[in-house]
Structure 1
Amino acid sequence: MSAQPSTDRPDVSSATSDGFVRGLSQFIGGPLGSHATRPDARPNRFWTAPRFVLALTCLILALSWVQKSPCMSGDWQKNIQYTRFCYTDVLALYYAEGLSDGAVPYVDHQVEYPVVTGYFMGALGLPVHWYGTTRNPDINQGSWFYNVNALVLSLFAVATAAVLLALRRRRPWDAAIFALSPILLVTATVNWDFLAIGLAAIGLLLWVRDRPAWAGVFLGLGAAAKLWPVFILGPLLVLALRRGKLAPWVHATLGAVITWGVVNFPVWFWYHDSWLRFFRLNSERPIDWGTFWYIGRYLDGKWAGGSAGDQGPFQWLGDHIPTLNWVSYALFGLACAVLMILGLLAPQPPRLAQLAFLVVAFFLIFSKVWSQQYVLWLLPLIVLARPKWGAVLAWTVAEIGYFAAFYAELIGAGGKPVIPEGTFVLASSLRLITVAVLCGLVIREIWKPELDVVRQTYGTDPDAGPLAGRDVQWVENLRRHLGFIRPEPAEAPAEAPPARTS
């Protein structure tokens, strides 16, 4: 008797379910044929799909290190950090945040980041400073600091790829969207974002493994490094309401809140002004490069025709930052409310990854700050939410175009314009539009789940974890009351047989 096949056996058809990938496969002879040897038919083969994807991730990260190498010395003359596209906050902030002088984050210097990022900076920066001042004064401390950070951040990136593979065992090639992304190549170590991304990815994996409290712990740690991982609790709440299972969500939320509080408490209690710096900085920051508000302010200026007395709404908001903050928060809150309604009224419960991608994308679209490396937040989420290469590649081209235009704009800020301002606004608009298009495509597949390739493979949400099961009755009643479920026509009574006559 043959052994029962594993339920996690790779679905070979998933590799060519994407029309774009199916077209590319013609260069290597087309999709897998019916008489071909399946890739899982040789269990002793070393180069399995997951190992190949992890190797690709390591290769791209190594190339990313090479791409940043012109900046490692810290000798940034003649705008080399922009002309070579190798700028990184990691190296710049080693000096700007006082780590090069042995300053302890929050204690001796008010770091502008949430506490887990500050702890991370200190944990790597202070030993480098100690070694460079007491053991080997000849080393370039900035270069050492960057290289140590690049190594650890790359490990978090590899861990993220491993989580993607673990969450999509039947679709391992989806993770190649992450592994081969040019976004990963150029932004992996621009800042410490992979610290939060890796922690959030582990949190998602623990959720799927039915460990909601531990999932909350890692989401809380991620939120204490960068804010966005806490947004994932919103999609979890929507799914918990549809399933009528609030206990797992409560456990995850308590885990996140308690963890965030514990890691923040020392700085909040003993160095309160340092703890407040992150929040004050974000509340006071003006409209940042390339955001929705930046584009609107530029268009306001064009429509005003240069008239000093004719000020548009975006220009007015740019001069009234507290009001801009509230407008930004309100738009994000409205988008989240619409997302909750969509999640409750969709024909089937949306997949967790779909809602998580949408809520983070909405935050970026309406935020007044959209730094170049924030694109990394969306990359693993789009792999889980909509693993189709065509739209992702279009978005990637727009992101790389913005990346190049942004550096040209930074060079121009020194007094020598490199590109017209309109070109930078065009690049910013294309980035915004492609993210919005991805959101539209994900929403379309939520409303028409038969188009979702992940559901075609799994039949349900593989990330549901403790929220797997059936909808509660009130959700079905609500959808029926609103006309999303049409009542089935009543069956006509069977006709009585004609009476017999003698």
Structure 2
Amino acid sequence: MGTSRVDRLGPYILLALTCAAGWLFKAHCGATWTGDEQYLTGCYSDALPFWGLRGVAAGQLPYVESRIEYPVLTGALIWLEGLAARTLAGPRADAADFLLVVSIVNAAFAFAVMRMMERAGLPLLRRWCWAAAPPLILYLGHNWDMLAVALAMAAILAARRGEPAAAAALAAIGTAAKLFPILLLPLLGLSALFQRNRSWTARFRSAGGLALVAVVFWGALNAPLAARAFENWAEFYTFSRERSGTAASVWEILAVQGWWNTDLATRNLWSFLIFAGGAGAIVAFGWPRHRDHLWALFTPVLAWFLLTNKVYSPQFDLWLYPFLLLTSRRLWPIAWFALGDVGAYWAEFWFFASLGGGGPGVTQMHIAWAAAFRAAALLWIIVDIVRGRAPDWVMTRARQEARNIGSVHLKR
């Protein structure tokens, strides 16, 4: 009984400590930054500039009264967190109070992910890995991506339970928080389109129904604001299209090294084509082993998206980490990825500090080495998941039971 209680509560206790460390990592700089301390000490957080520059301190409504370069569900969360900070701290509320609220809410999402992992039967060791996740320390107070992570995890587990409509709805809601959960929708559609032992009419009807569910849920969240303040609502999509890249993305590294420097339109086109081609190859090569649980290929498709996208912000690694624990067969590549994430984080921020002469002299070549180390882990993960048989906890219950029955007959 005692061991069982430790196994159950231990990861939650460690997760609480990790979340506290994540808040302290960002909060130690206070409500303002001096010089380049946000880069030198790693305490940069989007919460601090958003407090003053995006109307959070003034209580302005996102999109209606202020522009926010996030999808609508994240914009709503930012407004609610700003309201909570102003309510709890009163007239003296500042960016540090806002950062505390942001960290607490993100911690709640991290606990929700842990609970989902537990209910999904994820091995205890992997739950300990989530409880001590380095990305949680680095990014818990960084911005608001944990909302989309939790929704994407809920969508994945709904697909695992054999509830594709719920999975499509949750993925669409997640896409209204951050774009990456949309990568699950084509996998759900393909699963519906190629169901075994069903007529093509039934298959098309099922796939069309999932598409309709996704459109309805995404549209219900976006249409009101798009109709009232289209330009501000579209800021996220405009901003994403017009960004040239970030320092740790493969495109920026290629450009800086003089290997492939293109204009923005060409970069947008090629990043999409290379991602789409690679994602198609992942599904094609993974089909023989994962046809009955295509949602498991969400992890390698997301990893490929991170590798090929023109923007690779540091916190993007938080998107992938819990899904690696869910679907990857081995822990070594996950550890490699986490180490690369830490290296890329400090290389990028110390590079920004070094531009002003106050940093440790980190150059873009250092960023390239850290990014290459992380990219090698991602490629290993992609190949390993695609080529290997899914772990037992990935399988749906019906599929796992069928496999177990088959094993019994073979033994007989």
**One fold, TM greater than 0.5?**
yes
The one of 357, 361, 380 aligned to 2:299: 357
Residues 283, 81 of structure 1: alpha-carbon distance in 2 compared, 3 angstrom cutoff: same
C-alpha deviation, 1:264, in angstroms: 0.2
Cα distance in 2, alignment partners of residues 114 and 332 from structure 1: 22
Cα distance in 1, alignment partners of residues 114 and 96 from structure 2: 27
The equivalent of 1:161 in structure 2 is 114
The equivalent of 2:313 in structure 1 is 371
The equivalent of 1:115 in structure 2 is 72
C-alpha deviation, 1:466, in angstroms: 9.8
Cα distance in 1, alignment partners of residues 117 and 141 from structure 2: 20
Alpha-carbon displacement from aligned partner over 1:102-160 (angstroms, at most 9, x marks no partner): 3211111111111111111112213534666xxx32x3321221111111111011101
Residues 64, 337 of structure 1: alpha-carbon distance in 2 compared, 3 angstrom cutoff: same
Alignment of 1:40-439 (within 5 A): 42=1, 47-71=5-29, 73-129=30-86, 136-137=90-91, 139-168=92-121, 171-244=123-196, 246=203, 249-300=207-258, 312=259, 314-315=260-261, 317=262, 320-344=263-287, 346-347=288-289, 349=291, 351-352=293-294, 354-416=296-358, 418-439=361-382
Kindly report the root-mean-square deviation, in angstroms, between the aligned alpha carbons of the 2 structures: 2.5
Unaligned runs of 5+ in 2: 404-412
Residues 125, 257 of structure 1: alpha-carbon distance in 2 compared, 3 angstrom cutoff: same
Cα distance in 2, alignment partners of residues 185 and 465 from structure 1: 37
The equivalent of 1:462 in structure 2 is 395
Alpha-carbon displacement from aligned partner over 1:430-458 (angstroms, at most 9, x marks no partner): 1222212221222231xxx2xx5x24xx6
Contact 2:155 2:170 in 1 (8 A): yes
Residues 340, 209 of structure 1: alpha-carbon distance in 2 compared, 3 angstrom cutoff: closer
Cα distance in 2, alignment partners of residues 50 and 376 from structure 1: 24
Residues 360, 104 of structure 1: alpha-carbon distance in 2 compared, 3 angstrom cutoff: same
Contact 1:106 1:274 in 2 (8 A): yes
C-alpha deviation, 1:359, in angstroms: 1.1
Alpha-carbon displacement from aligned partner over 1:158-177 (angstroms, at most 9, x marks no partner): 101111121125x2322222
Cα distance in 1, alignment partners of residues 132 and 207 from structure 2: 34
| TM norm structure 2 | 0.88
Contact 2:188 2:294 in 1 (8 A): yes
Cα distance in 1, alignment partners of residues 81 and 398 from structure 2: 35
Alpha-carbon displacement from aligned partner over 1:70-112 (angstroms, at most 9, x marks no partner): 13x2220022212221111122212121212232111111111
- Give the letter for the 1:386 counterpart: S
What is the aligned-residue identity percentage?
25
Cα distance in 1, alignment partners of residues 279 and 98 from structure 2: 39
Alpha-carbon displacement from aligned partner over 1:29-75 (angstroms, at most 9, x marks no partner): xxxxxxxxxxxxx4x7662423222222222111211222213x222
| TM norm structure 1 | 0.73
Cα distance in 2, alignment partners of residues 252 and 207 from structure 1: 12
- Give the letter for the 2:20 counterpart: A
Give SS of 2:5's match: coil
Residues 82, 167 of structure 1: alpha-carbon distance in 2 compared, 3 angstrom cutoff: same
Contact 2:303 2:320 in 1 (8 A): yes
Q: Which is richer in helix?
A: 2
Alpha-carbon displacement from aligned partner over 1:454-483 (angstroms, at most 9, x marks no partner): 24xx6xx4247899989xxxxxxxxxxxxx
The equivalent of 2:410 in structure 1 is none
Residues 248, 384 of structure 1: alpha-carbon distance in 2 compared, 3 angstrom cutoff: farther
Residues 348, 391 of structure 1: alpha-carbon distance in 2 compared, 3 angstrom cutoff: closer
Contact 2:27 2:99 in 1 (8 A): no
Cα distance in 2, alignment partners of residues 220 and 115 from structure 1: 12
Cα distance in 2, alignment partners of residues 248 and 166 from structure 1: 27
Residues 324, 465 of structure 1: alpha-carbon distance in 2 compared, 3 angstrom cutoff: farther
Give SS of 1:243's match: coil
Residues 420, 272 of structure 1: alpha-carbon distance in 2 compared, 3 angstrom cutoff: closer
Cα distance in 2, alignment partners of residues 184 and 387 from structure 1: 22
Unaligned runs of 5+ in 1: 1-41, 301-311, 471-502
- Give the letter for the 2:121 counterpart: R
Contact 2:56 2:79 in 1 (8 A): yes
- Give the letter for the 2:11 counterpart: V
Give SS of 1:106's match: coil
Cα distance in 2, alignment partners of residues 181 and 467 from structure 1: 29
